[in-house]
């Protein structure tokens, strides 16, 4: 039996599991499952195509038949990898499958917030006319925080707008920066000089509230913030203050600390463009991500284990529980 987090929509990729004899249990609640809901649904489940549900110690204790969690995407901050390892559960990722989709969405959100697209749309829809003056993207200075696969894909797109590109990463790729004309700078320098700051760093204990009240104050007045990475990178209360005070002109957010962000004051600001954590999903990336997840699940069911580059905890390959084909699927 396999758990599929994306709901009732049938697609040909998940059908691969069914052709291999798996019974696929779909998430039908229309939102991310809670910890308690996961605990209730996991008994009897061999594999999970996981979204951003919380895979905790409690969840792994309850899911005694669970052998592999294949993450739909590249972030794993919601998975307690150490707990998974203790319980002999493989955690497989879909690295390299959706970064181009995230980069497309990042540029879309960037253009929307800088160009006042939502405000103009609402004005015309309500029978109004006229425009709000706004800056452009062409030759703007963009600051990319995190120069991994997504950050690099964003940088390549920004070159098409002849942007001045600043980038910060704890382990910068000097060769890439040289090839694409990026300026590698300190984070403070990036914040002070960028017209648009876009976040592409992972969410870890070190990056929790990376963009806090102090760093928002260091940004250029009237700048924009785009976040398609993780909500935990941004102090949302401080962001609200920066937007309402005029320190920032706008923000575009695909991710939030609580998802959905019910009750967040950010929802009431017309200077904020909102998206439901969907930046990494389009028709092309869905195929790549799901096929990668399913490849990992089927490999584990055959006792082979996923390819090492996709497995976060290869030590489970040597565990008594790991890599055993299910007697019932």
Please say if 277 is a catalytic residue: yes
Burial (0-12, 13-18, 19+ Cβ within 10 Å), 99: buried
Contact 88, 320 (CB under 8 A): yes
- From the list 18, 122, 259, 307, the catalytic residue is 259
End-to-end CA distance of the chain: 4
Out of 230, 236, 286, 292, pick the active-site residue.
230
> Measured between alpha carbons, how far is 57 from 115 in angstroms, rounded to an integer?
45
Query: Where is 213: in which H helix or E strand?
Result: helix 213-218
Catalytic residue among 149, 277, 286, 292: 277
For 139, what's the count of Cα atoms within 13 Å in the CB-facing half-sphere?
0
CA-CA distance, 166 to 146, in Å (whole number)?
A: 11
User: What would the 3-class secondary structure string for 20-63 be?
Assistant: CCCCEEECCCCCCCCHHHHHHHCCCCCEEEECCCCECHHHHHHC
Please report where in the chains the tokens 């648009």 appear, as a residue: 196
Two tokens, residue 159 = 């070159």
Structure tokens at 216: 């928002």
230 part of the active site: yes
The catalytic site residues sit at 230, 259, 277
């Amino acid at each position: 039996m396999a758990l599929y987090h994306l709901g009732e929509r049938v697609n040909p990729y998940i059908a691969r599991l069914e052709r291999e004899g798996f019974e696929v249990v779909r998430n039908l609640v229309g939102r991310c499952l809670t910890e308690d809901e996961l605990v209730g649904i996991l008994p009897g489940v061999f594999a999970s195509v996981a979204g951003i549900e919380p895979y905790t110690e409690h969840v792994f204790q309850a899911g005694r038949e669970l052998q592999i969690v294949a993450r739909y995407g590249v972030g794993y901050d919601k998975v307690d990898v150490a707990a998974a390892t203790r319980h002999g559960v493989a955690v497989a990722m879909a690295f390299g499958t959706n970064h181009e989709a995230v980069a497309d969405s990042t540029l879309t959100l960037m253009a929307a917030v800088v160009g006042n697209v939502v405000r103009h749309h609402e004005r015309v829809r309500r029978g109004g006319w006229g425009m709000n003056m706004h800056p452009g993207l062409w030759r703007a200075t963009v600051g990319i925080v995190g120069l991994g696969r997504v950050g690099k894909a964003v940088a390549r797109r920004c070159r098409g707008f002849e942007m001045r590109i600043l980038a910060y990463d704890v382990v910068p790729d000097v060769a890439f920066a040289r090839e694409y004309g990026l300026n590698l700078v300190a984070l403070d320098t990036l914040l002070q000089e960028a017209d648009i700051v876009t976040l592409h760093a992972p969410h870890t204990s070190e990056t929790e509230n990376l963009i806090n009240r102090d760093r928002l104050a260091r940004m250029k007045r009237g700048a924009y913030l785009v976040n398609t990475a993780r909500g935990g990178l941004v102090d949302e209360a401080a962001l609200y203050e920066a937007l309402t005070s005029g320190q920032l002109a706008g923000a575009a957010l695909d991710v939030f600390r609580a998802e959905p962000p019910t009750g967040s004051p950010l929802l009431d600001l017309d200077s904020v463009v909102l998206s439901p954590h969907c930046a990494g999903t389009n028709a092309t990336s869905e195929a790549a991500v799901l096929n990668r997840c399913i490849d990992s699940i089927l490999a584990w069911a055959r006792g082979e284990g996923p390819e090492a580059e996709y497995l976060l905890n290869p030590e489970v390959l040597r565990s008594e529980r790991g890599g055993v084909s299910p007697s019932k699927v």
